[in-house]
Chain A
Amino acid sequence: MTDTATTASMTMVEAINHTLHREMARDERVVVFGEDVGHNGGVFRATDGLQAAFGSRRVVDTPLAEGVIAGTAVGLAAAGLVPVPEIQFLGFSYQAFHQIAGQIARLRYRSQGRFEGPITLRAPFGGGVRTPELHSEAIEGQLANIPGLKIVMPASAADAKGLLATAIRDPDPVMFLEPLRGYRSIRDEVPLGDHLVPFGQAREVTPGDDVVVFAWSYMVEVARRAAEEVAGEGIGARVVDLRTLVPLDLDTIVQAVEQCGRAVVVQEAPETNGFAAEIIALINEHALWSLEAPVMRVSGYDAPYPVGRLEDRYIPDQGRVAAAIRTTVATR
């Protein structure tokens, strides 16, 4: 599935751009559209060079209207194309939520299979870069509550490539959520050839048997640093990157809890009703008797995402995750 003969060091946004180029070259049905994605190459340059390479019919600057960006994807899909719309920031998708939740997610279902929705809706999200309001919201938990969508949240450049290629080739709608804090700060070796990462397969980031830390997207990096911190104290923290929330790799979650007996779940979203709660419920259902201590949750707070001077203490950081690891390991 993966040609690993040649790799190159890339940032996450470079890996995304590289993958979009490859997928557009591979399949002429792929159409990229959104605000500023064409001539400007996207406000983060994720779509840089696509319009020059594939023309303004396939790489389209749209009017500033998220609802119709999401809504036209439905019609394009029905016409037999493979739409890859971009919502400039996930927080702006509230203006498209009716089309995402009420229409894109239900296209196959309401037409009983006549129309497929091979739509990959890309959107950056997440805090830590001093953006104005509504640029940072982590709403994956809201999206995961909508049957019909797949929720994909890469944490490495290589995964950004492998998961994006899988998303674009998937016959169902995928919310492809990119951590904007990781666009340039995350850099790793990316296979240059065809590289597909299947959905529903979590990835072990660091080994360890004392406690498992479940995370996704940029929180994987935060968890990895916390694991490094506690390693010096003799605590073996296994970090597991869930990669995709829908579909979810339950087997790996259960196996890790059975082997470690202790678990911490990290999410950037507000605490109440976030996806961490779902992980903890699944642990209760499938691995309760393996637990040596209550599962800890590290998250944002039940307040709207804050403005710049307040955000660093709102988002889970290395210290908070390390503290949760210590607490759960100390519980006897």
Chain B
Amino acid sequence: MAPGSTAPTSTHDLSDDQLRQLLREMIGARVFSTRAFNLQRQGRAGTNAPVDGNEAIIVGASHALDPTTDWVLPQYRELVGLQRFGDEVIDRYALYITGHPGGGHLPEPIRVWPPQISLAAQIPHAVGLAWGLQLQDTEGVVLVFFGDGASSEGDFYEAGNFAGVLAAPVIFLCVNNGWAISTPTHRQTSAASFADKAAAFGFPGIQVDGTDVLAVHEAVSAARHRALAGDGPTLIEAVTYRLAPHTTADDPTRYQPDHEVAEWRDRDPIESMRRLLTSRKLWNDDDEQEANDTADERMELAVQRAESAPTPADGFFDHVYATPTERMIRQRAAFRAHYGQEDGQ
């Protein structure tokens, strides 16, 4: 998909308030993510993966789902854009990037799974969860995020194939941001599009402009209705561009062509939505300031909570089994005898 278009083109039946909320959450996602990046530079957070370029996809999808019935299985860039599923998501994100085990626990009733580092491994989980909803006649759909690179993994093909057989209520959302670290999409596949891969699974695959939050919202809404009607999965390829390094540990100037980055910066999903809402008199400088300040303050609070959260140094013994084995009990006792009950890093 060639860069060039500038603004969202479809608005469905979203109210003005909802449109403004989409933009607020997109701005929030980038603020949270940028702060996480900076925390890593200050030595206060571990390696983390910026969201820049993916905001419209995450927020658009999130608003097409029902957080009281539907589930989201992220890859690892999405938590910052999933506030609609629960305000505490951002607290868990702060724990996650600061290396606290609690970062993996998205508490009830938040229907979001922890980030998945093994690429595509979450896709079979999503199919299993959707299958479980189906078996129990529970209303709801499962949406799973993964990238263009992850679509090369066996898990994607195995899960897509089985999902088709089951007609499971699952939405495969492939975030094609052009790069898998340094590998461009044409080295990832020779298929004309990632959406085309759905043909092998026997369900529809569609491609949408991933910089257009309303287009993503519309596509996910349609896929959700299809799933709820019992018609099975949909593969959605949302095309965007990775506007930041792969992670805090990456230098994209080694491989991303400057002109390409510049072209896609003109299509920044947040800018596009801001232009649309400004033209409709739904957004002004005060709104912009407020959205940024609110996100800043929320992230500040989340980081404060994360940095003051107790971190027992032997916390890695917890939650391995429902009841620890006798060996683990002995190991933990030996650990405490040696180190005492000190706090972790």
Contacts and interface: CB of A to CB of B under 8 A. Distances in A.
Interface stretch (A45-53, A76-84, A123-131, A221-229): A76-84
B154 A67 contact: yes
Contacts of B285: none
B158 A67 contact: yes
A138 interface: no
B105 interface: yes
Contacts of B277: none
A26 interface: no
**Interface SS of chain B:** helix
A309 B206 CA distance: 53
B118 A31 contact: no
Contact of A248 (B107, B128, B131, B327): B327
B226 interface: no
Contacts of A331: none
Interface in A67-119: 67-68, 70-81, 83, 95, 98-99, 102-103, 108-114, 116
Contacts of A147: 320
A63 B161 CA distance: 8
A252 interface: no
A206 interface: no
Contacts of B101: 112
Nearest to B113: A111
Given A62-B162, A78-B132, A79-B138, 16 more contacts: A58-B135, A67-B154, A67-B158, A71-B123, A71-B128, A72-B162, A74-B125, A75-B128, A78-B129, A79-B129, A81-B135, A103-B121, A111-B104, A111-B106, A111-B319, A200-B326
Contacts of A70: 124
Contact of B104 (A74, A83, A110): A110
B325 interface: yes
B319 A109 contact: yes
B260 to A, nearest CB: 33
A102 B322 contact: no
Nearest to B170: A75
A113 B318 CA distance: 9
Given A98-B121, A110-B114, A112-B101, A72 B128 contact: yes
B124 A67 contact: yes
A203 interface: no
Nearest to A173: B321
A62 B132 CA distance: 15
Contacts of A248: 325, 327
Contacts of B138: 79
A68 B155 contact: yes
Central interface residue in A73, A79, A170, by most chain B CB within 10 Å = A79
Interface string A159-199: 00000000000111000000000000000000000000000
A78 B73 CA distance: 12
A8 interface: no
B326 A250 contact: yes
B159 to A, nearest CB: 5
10 contacts: A31-B135, A63-B161, A63-B165, A68-B158, A71-B121, A71-B125, A71-B159, A75-B131, A112-B101, A200-B325
Contact of A112 (B105, B129, B155, B165): B105
Interface residues of B, number: 41
A73 B321 contact: no
A20 B161 CA distance: 28
A57 interface: yes
Contact of A74 (B128, B162, B321): B128
B108 interface: yes
A277 to B, nearest CB: 16
A71 B170 CA distance: 15
A138 B217 CA distance: 50
B136 interface: yes
Interface of B: 101-102, 104-108, 113-114, 118, 121, 123-133, 135-136, 138, 142, 154-155, 158-159, 161-162, 165, 318-322, 325-327
Contact of A76 (B131, B158, B159, B319): B131
Interface in A287-315: none
B104 A73 contact: no
Interface of A: 31, 57-58, 62-63, 65, 67-68, 70-81, 83, 95, 98-99, 102-103, 108-114, 116, 147-148, 150, 170-172, 200, 246-248, 250
Contacts of A73: 128
A247 B124 contact: no
A80 B135 CA distance: 11
A239 to B, nearest CB: 23
B92 to A, nearest CB: 10
Contact of B161 (A65, A77, A111): A65
Q: Which of B132, B159, B318, B327 has the most CB of A within 10 A?
A: B132
Contacts of A57: 135
B327 A247 contact: yes
Given A67-B155, A79-B133, A81-B135, A247 B325 contact: yes
A64 to B, nearest CB: 9
A65 B201 CA distance: 14
Contact of B321 (A65, A103, A111, A172): A172
Given A98-B118, A112-B105, A246 B162 contact: no
A116 B322 contact: yes
Contact of B318 (A76, A98, A112, A247): A112
A72 B107 CA distance: 22
Given A99-B121, A114-B108, A72 B322 contact: no
A70 B102 CA distance: 25
A111 B136 contact: no
B319 A112 contact: yes
Contacts of A76: 128-129, 131-132, 135
